[in-house]
Structure 1
């Protein structure tokens, strides 16, 4: 469990590096004459490259985890992620390499996505297979706290750096070298995690007792496994779609073009919200162990559709006039929409048999992010019919409906035998 938590933390730490740490220094990698739209496109390409790489990594390392072992797949994936992240920290900028600097950065982010897509593909099935059945919910929630705590850690490190060094202009200390500090930290964390798995984590007994599957990807898309995959894929599309307005669009909504908070205030509010989210992750997963995963997911989707949508609309329409409500609504929105993710490490692994568990978990989790990644285009299309700041509420509602459909079409899983050849 500790290994899986560390892996998830390092994974999300690296994911949020370009969004949080590089954002104030993005001018270092682009032409000085590039307008705001061009800068936004470059930033979007950097983030999208990582997401595109994740399904590729899930396929490669999922097969590796199902054939040669969860432990070995995790070690290789994290070593690769660390090496690529360190290369990013050493990249020269536009003044040295011109357009090639941002091309190299996007290429390295794509490679990082491949390796990061392999991290949870091996580590999380290993942890769930080792967990006592009655504690799988608890372990699942603890593992998932790596997401909000990584977000908070990157935000705090970036904020501290911005407070102690100049950040205005491409020649400022932060633009030239300050942003590299969090990237070096991310690389060192990846190497440390690989070493931890090598020295301290044993291979899954469940995997060791099962005859290795030499064709897990083929078997994943055959018969009952294909049905399981489609059900989880629908569920995860809903989770990813509802997440985007909260994780990606909410900071912009809280900023000067929406609620009117300063960048420092937005960062502090989001850090507080994500620290509280860590507790909500554990609470949600423990509750699912008591009442059942399926019943929990149905209830969470319903609350997300009604309360989550209302909270987002209240932020876009009332937040600027009632600052204290904006803070409270942000915290509640993050907990309601993102808190149910604490159940997913247990639920998705419980849905697949041992022979295809890593491949099924990694691919269903990662492939589902592709369509929701174009959330900005969906919001742009919706803005023709409604205020742009309200469009995130629509995505939350649609995502909640997909989660509800996915949950209703799947069985209860909390008591499944992880050693069985079929999981319902």
Structure 2
């Protein structure tokens, strides 16, 4: 009588552990991203130039991307040397604590330049934590996946991105609804600026407790245990991955590039562009009201010289439009997994990257104000739905493809470094480049779209140079071939 081997972790626990952690991590990340547009330019980076304040806020937002590869190397080292479980718990705690403390920070008006400095330090801590989170969650999912379903299981940690976005923004919308505010599209009411913005950051503590409870119930995967038994665990996995797998690191970095640029354009840039007033009079009135609420001086002539138009949606309306788009992001993230298992990761990603290149050329078609406001709304919603659909299709297979580029003994380090170095090239600078290109084009978004298309071309080339990873056997790919004890 044969006895089936029981998996190290029940499948439901694997899915939940990989999903809940990334949902919390991305929730924390999006809470900051939303505040970076709505709150931090006023409370932490005040100046007479609204664009300069927004750029400073985005710069601190992007600073976390610089910390992510450092987190990838540190957490990757411990994840490849000692196992995935403890590393995942540590990354979740780091992110949660940093986010909670952001909710307690005094502002520039209270302690001066120390406030943005503290915000920068905590933002770097967020990035450091996220650098180790994604890869560990992807490995928990794929190393425990049944045969032929790695991309399907790998899509669950990816689902944390749209879920985190929806939860964070619904909380911000709830605060907006509950607190008194005028018609200002930036939602800069006195109550919101005084204390309401802190609630989403403080709420993260509740979510972290739930995530820890789930992750502490995990045990190490059979794949990692076999690597330990075979004696292929490296003393310095970081050295091994750079010495023997540098080509995979470069290819993995560029494979993720278009995904990152698309994502941050669809979230940060579109929020800035969509909620910026479409005409000077409306923008001037809103800016003057915000200046009076915060005690800042307002010069109409200076503002007029710096003004460039957006779509003129209210904050609540536009975020609801984004959330509709993100629902498609989540649905297509899950759908992409079985497709990638059936036809291969590379083939699916080549098709969707080609579509992203074309999509970038349509920005002026979808994102220009129309004579009929309803037509503008319909085109913008179509743009968001289509963009987030592409995001789901390209993001879903990454949970399987990047880990599959590397053997077990350096899989955490390799996939984490590739994923997070790409975050610098495709996410840290994307909001800054987009804002500058938007300004250069006189308020039109066509240069921003061209930027996305050019990044898509680089990803397309990397995919052509990368072999298909669908049939790679984790049991035969423990890292024996390239192991030199250090």
Q: TM-score, normalised by structure 2?
A: 0.81
Instruction: Specify whether residues 412 and 313 from structure 1 end up closer, same or farther in structure 2 by C-alpha distance, changes over 3 A only.
Output: same
Q: CA deviation at 1:171?
A: 8.3
1:238 aligns with 2:258: yes
In the aligned structure 2, how far is the partner of 1:133 from the partner of 1:172?
A: 55
Match of 2:319 in 1: 267
- 1:191 corresponds, among 202, 209, 212, to 209
Specify the alignment match of 1:393 in structure 2. Answer: 449
1:37-76 CA-partner distances (Å, limit 9, x unpaired)? 3321331133112222111111100111000110010111
Across the aligned residues of Structure 1 and Structure 2, the Cα RMSD in angstroms comes to 2.4
With 321-330 and 55-64 compared, the bigger mean Cα shift is at 321-330
Counterpart mapping for 1:328-343 below 5 A: 328-343=382-397
SS of the equivalent of 2:200 reads helix
Partner SS, residue 145 of structure 1? helix
Whether 1:293 aligns to 2:311 is no
- Deviation of the 1:368 alpha carbon: 1.0
Unaligned runs of 5+ in 2: 1-14, 278-308, 482-486
- Aligned positions of 1:39-118 closer than 5 A: 39-118=53-132
Structure 1 residues 41 and 27, CA, compared in 2 at 3 Å: closer, same or farther? closer
Q: 2:415 aligns with which of 356, 361, 370?
A: 361
| Equivalent runs, 1:338-353 vs 2, <5 Å | 338-353=392-407
Equivalent residue, structure 1, for 2:310: 258
Question: Which has a greater percent of helix?
Answer: 1
Aligned to 1:247: 267
How big is the shift at 1:260?
2.9
Alignment of 1:15 onto 2:33 = no
Following the alignment from structure 2 to structure 1, what is the Cα–Cα distance between the partners of residues 86 and 451?
38
TM-aligned CA deviation for residue 243 of structure 1: 3.0
Aligned position for 1:305: 357
Cα deviation digits, residues 281-332 of structure 1 (max 9, x gap): 11122211111111111111112212x1244231133656423232122211
- Write the distance in 1 (CA, Å) between the matches of 2:45 and 2:32: 18
Secondary structure, counterpart of 1:297 in structure 2 = helix
Q: Distance in 1 between matches of 2:324 and 2:50?
A: 29
Which is further off, 150-159 or 164-173? 164-173
Counterpart for residue 278 of structure 1: 330
Q: Structure 1: how far apart are the matches of 2:381 and 2:454?
A: 25
Distance 1:404 1:97, change over 3 A: same
Picking from 464, 472, 476, the partner of 1:408 is: 464
TM-superposition CA deviations, 1:134-171 (whole Å, max 9, x none): 22122122321111111111111101101111357988
Aligned match for 2:234, one of 208, 213, 218: 213
Q: Does the CA contact (< 8 Å) of 1:31 and 1:94 recur in 2? A: yes
Q: After superposition, where does 1:152-163 map in structure 2 within 5 Å? A: 152-163=166-177
SS, match of residue 134 in structure 1: coil
Larger CA Rg, structure 1 vs 2: 2
CA distance in 1 between counterparts of 2:350 and 2:220 reads 34
Change (3 A) 1:396 1:299: same
Structure 1 position 245, deviation (Å):
2.3
Kindly tell me: are residues 330 and 122 of structure 1, through their superposed partners in 2, closer, same or farther at Cα, counting changes over 3 Å?
A: closer
- The CA distance in 2 between the partners of 1:132 and 1:337, in whole Å, is 26
Cα distance in 2 for residues equivalent to 1:369 and 1:226: 18
Distance (Å, rounded) in 2 between the aligned partners of 1:7 and 1:184: 17
* Aligned equivalents of 2:141, 2:404: Cα separation in 1: 12
**C-alpha contact (below 8 Å) 2:37/2:272 kept by paired residues:** no
Contact 2:403 2:411 in 1 (8 A): yes
Q: 1: distance between equivalents of 2:129 and 2:119?
A: 15
**Counterpart-to-counterpart distance in 2, 1:385 and 1:96:** 37
C-alpha separation in 2, matches of 1:142 and 1:311: 30
Give how far 1:387 is off. 6.0
Tell me whether 135-144 or 161-170 shows the greater mean CA deviation: 161-170
Q: How far apart are the structure 2 equivalents of 1:337 and 1:197?
A: 27
Residues matched between the structures, number: 421
Measure, in 2, the Cα distance between the counterparts of 1:273 and 1:382. 22
**Is structure 2 residue 368 aligned with structure 1 residue 317?**
yes
Alpha carbons 1:76, 1:194 under 8 Å: kept: no
- Taking the aligned partners of 2:45 and 2:158, their CA distance within structure 1 comes to 39
Tell me, in whole angstroms, the C-alpha distance in 1 between the residues paired with 2:92 and 2:400. Answer: 22
Give me the whole-angstrom Cα distance separating, in 1, the residues matched to 2:49 and 2:449. 29
| 1:281 and 1:341 in contact (8 A); partners too | yes
CA shift in 2, pair 1:270/1:348, >3 Å: same
Gaps of 5+ in 1: none
8 A Cα contact 1:316 1:389, kept in partner: yes
Structure 2 vs 1, CA of residues 368 and 31 (structure 1 numbering), >3 Å: closer, same or farther? closer
Task: For residue 351 of structure 1, report the CA deviation from its aligned partner.
Answer: 1.1
